[in-house]
């Protein structure tokens, strides 16, 4: 998390720094992202950067936290409506909302995709830091699905919840890569049914 000195800055200056942070991590993998470029474009000194953040990892995690909070806020209305519908319809609604969020915030999608591709220790740290909320949502849906008889009772709920969370990111990335040459639109959503049917019935 940023230091209090960052929050003491005028809002306009905070937003400028965060915009440059987002640009840097959008355009570069974590290992190649440069604090020097961030401070140069932000119009601050490197010393000031370290008055605001501990290091590159600190500002990266803060950016991901902002993105995650905005996504949860975006998904909020969907989540509040899905608890009383069937598991697979609920899954479809969540994945649809994830795609709609990405359509509205393509920079966030790029940053998320880079995060997953970075792999290794960083992804494990991110999972430890941010994975709990998404895991909890999918776990709750799975448990309700088991109660309704839609889902086998012998599944390992935490494992399947983690798989569904990771699959959501992969599905969004796949559809956007597939459509990037013709441009992104809500037509991507129409292809979700095939994927949801595969989850429900398997690939046999």
pLDDT of residue 133: 65
Residues 117 and 174 in one domain: yes
Q: Which of 14, 38, 54 is the last residue of a domain?
A: 54
Helix (H) or strand (E) holding 130: helix 120-148
pLDDT band at 169 (very low <50, low <70, confident <90, very high): confident
pLDDT of residue 46: 96
Residue 31: Cβ-neighbour burial (10 angstroms; 0-12, 13-18, 19+): exposed
Residues 82 and 110 in one domain: yes
pLDDT band at 204 (very low <50, low <70, confident <90, very high): very low
pTM, to two decimals: 0.79
* Average pLDDT for the chain: 85
Return the half-sphere exposure (C-beta side, CA atoms, 13 A cut-off) of residue 10: 3
Q: How far apart are CA 160 and CA 139, in angstroms?
A: 8
Give the CA radius of gyration of the chain: 19
Q: Which of 54, 73, 90 is the last residue of a domain?
A: 54
- Taking 3-state DSSP, the helix, strand and coil percentages for the chain, each rounded to the nearest 5, stand at 80, 0, 20
**For every residue of 28-67, which 3-state class applies, written as one string?**
CCHHHCCHHHHHHHHCCCHHHHHHHCCCHHHHHHHHHHHH
Question: Domain tally for the chain?
Answer: 2
Residues 42 and 86 in one domain: no
Among 18-32, 41-55, 70-84, 163-177, the least confident range: 163-177
Residues 28 and 110 in one domain: no
Residues 149 and 187 in one domain: yes
For residue 58, CA distances in Å to 4, 43, 55, 78 come to 13, 20, 5, 31
Residues 125 and 161 in one domain: yes
pLDDT in tens, 29-53: 999 999 999 999 999 999 999 999 9
Residue 20: give its domain's CATH number: 1.10.10
Domain that holds residue 127: 60-201
């Amino acid at each position: 998390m940023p230091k209090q000195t960052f929050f003491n800055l005028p809002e306009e200056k905070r937003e400028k720094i965060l915009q440059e942070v987002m640009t840097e991590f959008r355009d570069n993998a974590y290992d190649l992202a440069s604090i020097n470029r961030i401070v140069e474009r932000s119009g601050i000194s490197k010393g000031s950067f370290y008055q605001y953040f501990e290091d590159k990892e600190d500002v990266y995690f803060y950016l991901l936290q902002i993105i995650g909070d905005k996504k949860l806020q975006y998904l909020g209305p969907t989540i509040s409506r899905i608890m009383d519908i069937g598991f697979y319809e609920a899954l479809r609604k969540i994945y649809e909302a994830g795609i709609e969020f990405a359509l509205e915030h393509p920079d966030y999608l790029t940053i998320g995709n880079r995060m997953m591709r970075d792999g290794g220790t960083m992804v494990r740290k991110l999972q430890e830091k941010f994975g709990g909320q998404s895991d909890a949502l999918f776990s709750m849906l799975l448990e309700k699905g088991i109660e309704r008889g839609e889902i086998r009772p012998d599944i390992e709920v935490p494992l399947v919840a983690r798989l569904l969370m990771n699959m959501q990111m992969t599905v969004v990335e796949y559809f956007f890569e597939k459509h990037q040459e013709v441009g992104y639109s809500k037509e991507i959503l129409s292809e979700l049914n095939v994927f949801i049917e595969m989850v429900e019935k398997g690939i046999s």
